[in-house]
Amino acid sequence: MRFLQDNARWIGGGFLLTLFSGFGQTIFIGASGGELREAFGMTNGEWGNLYGLATLGSAAVLPFVGKVMDVRPGWQVAAVVIPLLATACVSMALASSVLMLGVSLFLLRLLGQGMMSHIALTETARWFAASRGKAISFVVLGFQAQEAVLPLTFTLLVASYGYQVGWLAGAAVLIFLAWPAIVWLLKKPREPEGEAVTAKSRARDWTRGEVLRDPLFYAMSTGVLAPPFIGTTLFFHRDHLAELRGLSDQVMGAGIPVMAALTVGFALLTGRLVDRFGAVRLLPVVMMPLALGCLAVAFLDGSLGVIVFFGLFGVSYGFATTLFGSLWPEVYGTRYLGAIRSVTQSAMVFATALGPWITGALIDRGVSLPSQFGWMAFYCAGVFGLLILASRGFAKRTAAEPKTVAASSV
């Protein structure tokens, strides 16, 4: 594809950032969870509480750290973040107390899940305008690649040599592979004239304070926060759901490849749709497969139900990963995108932390997990209507703003 050939440097840099953000993602850290609990004598609940507090702490700090993207180029930020992430991996390997373990988890979540993803999506949104959706659709495939490669590789290392060797190997990969490659790829700026003109014609540059006073921001956030809240809940309680439905781990696991394939396919499709129709107009669409997926979890039994609800979640995630990377620059411009995205990224991290806690507490109070997913489907349906109104409100606001520059076709 000509687009990938012409932009391999910048797409590759963003892809590697999302790929190596995996060192701070739940699916990777959880691969050594059993060994860490045993090493520090923690119960499942104590491990969950420590991890939840570290995640919430990272979400609270991210808005203050993330705005550095507005004053420094991405390659300079990555040049600092990647060695610090490697240091956090070493700290995980050498942790000798629960306090040190908690600090290590906080750094992994802040630097890995938070900043690595933040750099990738912020820089890509600034580099591209007319083809922003397409570019982001390729960059976010790093998230799927990390899920396919990193946890399995890490699990094999842990099983053979222990979790300390696994985390030290992760640090080595970051220092000797990720650090030089990403910094080199990001160092050359991409500012094609035609796309810069297009960006200026779409939205003025809002400050973070203005965004936080905008009612449309909160309306759109109701949709942005739903997938991470619901998706994390599903995976966190997957074993519990399998028990309720009488399904084996093998049957539950069969749905994962289906979800992964649909996520990749719809992420790429959404990139083209965003470039054609705009992210705001497409935002309500995310809610439809997510609502249907929640209904499938609530009411479908057997292996067919597993395939259906994992498939629907894959469709929704494919839409969401590309769409959310394109949404904020389209609505609020790119000048202060680092500060704006740090807030939205922080909110999404909060959602991933609160989902398992809230639903777990409800389960303990006798509210079944399928019933909760039924209510989540109801929420998604309500948000679908709200997002349609928000989309129309944004269209009216955009039409009322003066257009000082003609859009380019580049």
Provide the pLDDT for residue 38: 87
Distances (CA, A) of 160 to 29, 299, 401: 17, 41, 61
Do the domain assignments include residue 4? Answer: no
Residue pair 28/22 in contact (Cβ under 8 Å)? The answer is yes
Within-domain flag for 233: yes
On whether residue 198 sits in a domain, the answer given is no
Check residue 258 and give its pLDDT. 85
Which pLDDT score, from 0 to 100, does residue 48 have?
A: 77
pLDDT value, residue 320: 87
SS3 183: helix
Enclosing domain of residue 54: 10-191
HSE at residue 243, side-chain half, CA atoms within 13 A, is 6
Residues 214 and 146 in one domain: no
Same domain, 292 and 364: yes
List average pLDDT for each run of 10 residues in the chain, which is 410 residues long: 85 95 86 84 81 89 93 94 97 94 95 94 89 91 87 84 92 96 92 48 78 92 89 80 80 79 92 90 89 91 82 89 88 90 88 82 88 94 92 82 43
**Domain check: are 249 and 393 in the same one?**
yes
Q: Which of 169, 191, 213 is the last residue of a domain?
A: 191
Is residue 87 within 8 Å of residue 141, measured between CB atoms? Answer: no
Tell me the whole-structure pTM to 2 decimals: 0.84
pLDDT for residue 198? 47
**Own/partner pairs for 399-407, CB < 8 Å, 24+ apart?**
401/204, 403/201, 404/200, 404/201, 405/197, 405/200, 405/201, 406/197, 406/201, 407/197, 407/198, 407/201, 407/202
Residues 272 and 312 in one domain: yes
| 264 in the same domain as 137 | no
44 and 137 both lie in a single domain: yes
Residues 317 and 220 in one domain: yes
Give the Cα separation of 356 and 22 in Å (integer): 20
Q: What would the pLDDT profile of 169-202 be if each residue is shown by its tens digit? A: 999 999 999 999 999 999 988 864 445 444 444 5
> Could you tell me if 114 and 62 are in contact, meaning their C-beta atoms sit under 8 angstroms apart?
yes
- What letter would DSSP give residue 410? -
Whether residue 388 sits in one domain with residue 314: yes
User: Where do the H-state alpha helices sit in 246-336?
Assistant: 249-277, 279-282, 287-299, 302-332
pLDDT value, residue 203: 57
Residue where a domain terminates, one of 191, 219, 252: 191
Residue 15's CATH number: 1.20.1250.20
> Is residue 369 included in any domain, yes or no?
yes
Tell me if 50 is assigned to some domain: yes
pLDDT of residue 409: 32
Q: Is residue 322 domain-resident? A: yes
Cα–Cα nearest to 163, from 55, 29, 45, 43: 29
Judge if 82 and 215 occupy the same domain.
no
Residue 153: per-residue pLDDT: 86
CB-count exposure of residue 45 (10 Å: 0-12, 13-18, 19+): exposed
Q: Is residue 293 part of a domain?
A: yes
Do 80 and 210 have their domain in common?
Answer: no
* CA-atom Rg of the chain in angstroms: 21
Query: Which contacts qualify for 147-151: CB closer than 8 Å, 24 or more apart?
Result: 147/22, 147/27, 147/260, 148/260, 150/19, 150/22, 150/23, 150/27, 150/28, 151/22, 151/27, 151/28, 151/30, 151/31
Residue with tokens 């609020």: 332
Q: Tell me the C-alpha distance between 61 and 84, whole Å.
A: 15
* N- to C-terminal Cα separation, the chain: 16
User: Has residue 196 been placed in a domain?
Assistant: no
What pLDDT is recorded for position 130?
83
Residues 340 and 399 in one domain: yes
Taking residue 249's Cβ as centre, other Cβ atoms within 10 Å add up to 10
Tokens 């949404």 label which residue?
A: 327
Q: Are residues 244 and 349 in the same domain?
A: yes
In this predicted structure, what is the pLDDT of residue 408?
35
Count of domains in the chain? 2
pLDDT at 193: 44
Give the end of a domain, one of 191, 226, 254.
191
190 phi-psi bin (left φ>0, alpha ψ -120 to 50, beta other): beta
